[in-house]
Amino acid sequence: MPSPTLVIADYPKGYPSGFGETLYNLFDGFPGDKLWTAHPGHRSPAHDKKRAQSIKLPSPSRPHWIPNRISIAYFPFLKAQQFNALKESVRLLSEVVEKNSIANILVVPVSPWILSAALDLHKQYPKLNLVVYVMDDWQRHPECHHNHRCGRSIEFNVMGEIAEQHRSSLSSLRAVRLLSRRSHSECLRAMKAADLLYLPLAFCKQSSRISLYSLPTKLPEYLASGKSVFFHAPKDSAVFRVAERYDLTPRLASINPEALDGFVESWMEGKQNGREALSRARSALLEEFDIDRLSRRFQAAFV
């Protein structure tokens, strides 16, 4: 029987509906009288994507007189606002824990103060089961990438936002087309038309935590596309571990130019493709992303 569970979720700006749907699906079948969700008041989930008793937390307020491009002089004031919201949140959540005999806490932080509030709450109640769910970078990852092979040339199409510091260098490459952000339906059509789907993760140190703990939201769509997927990510990243677990190929855990050249040549010769690889991709899709299986495994953590 599931134990009383508290979810503390900081919905990313611009994604309340989709993220609310994710939590909604993961808690499918979880008893409603055993589940509470807490979120900042200005980041509420969509009204039709709630499975729990909702608790609104105080939000750090930003006065209208502070300019959009703030100077460092305003940071102490804004930090103080976050600290006050954190203290009040811990107080409110402590009441929920005490009143409802909460046994599990799931925290989904975007803002650091939300994570701090959950950790402070856990310090007060160290016997609670604490689960921290680290999300992907919602704002910067492209919607979809894909390659198209034509004869001996490669056309590399990128749909999504590109960081400004990389735009000019990519635009100068003849094989690259930057198509900007496109609708979800356009991305799905592009996947079906492509010969290869490219799934990269950053190798730089500052992105190591994202790579280690998160999976790109496009991964299940790539696996369901029936196309080959090129997994290009650090070896200890979550997505590369999935590729290794199901022997999904092609995959490469290096940004060494010679290794990349070797992959391109091998793929162009057809050595990286095959029905067995697509069969393994279908197995990974069902095992890792089937909502019924996910719900059972997810809810097992809160028993």
Give the CATH number, domain containing residue 124: 3.40.50.2000
With respect to residue 299, please indicate whether it lies within any of the assigned structural domains.
Answer: no
* Domain span at 75: 5-135
In the chain, the amino acid numbered 101 is S
| pLDDT tens sequence across 205-247 | 887 887 787 788 889 999 998 888 999 999 999 899 999 999 9
Same domain for 216 and 79: no
The answer to whether residues 116 and 213 belong to one domain is: no
Q: Are residues 150 and 284 in the same domain?
A: yes
- Neighbouring CB atoms inside 10 A of 148's CB total 16
| 124 Rama class: left (phi>0) / alpha (psi -120 to 50) / beta | alpha
Q: What angle do CA 270, 276, 279 make, to 5 degrees?
A: 125
Instruction: Please indicate, yes or no, if residue 118 is contained in any of the structural domains.
Output: yes
Q: Are residues 127 and 168 in the same domain?
A: no
What's the structural domain count of the chain? 2
276, with CB counted inside 10 A (0-12, 13-18, 19+), is: exposed
**pLDDT (tens digit per residue) in 99-149:** 999 999 988 877 777 888 888 999 999 889 988 876 544 333 333 344 444
DSSP state of 94: H
Query: How far apart, in Å, do the first and last CA atoms of the chain sit?
Result: 6
Same domain, 25 and 120: yes
Mapping DSSP onto H, E and C, the string for 16-49 reads: HHHHHHHHHHHCCCCCHHHEEEEEEHHHCCCCCC
Q: pTM, whole model, 2 decimals?
A: 0.55
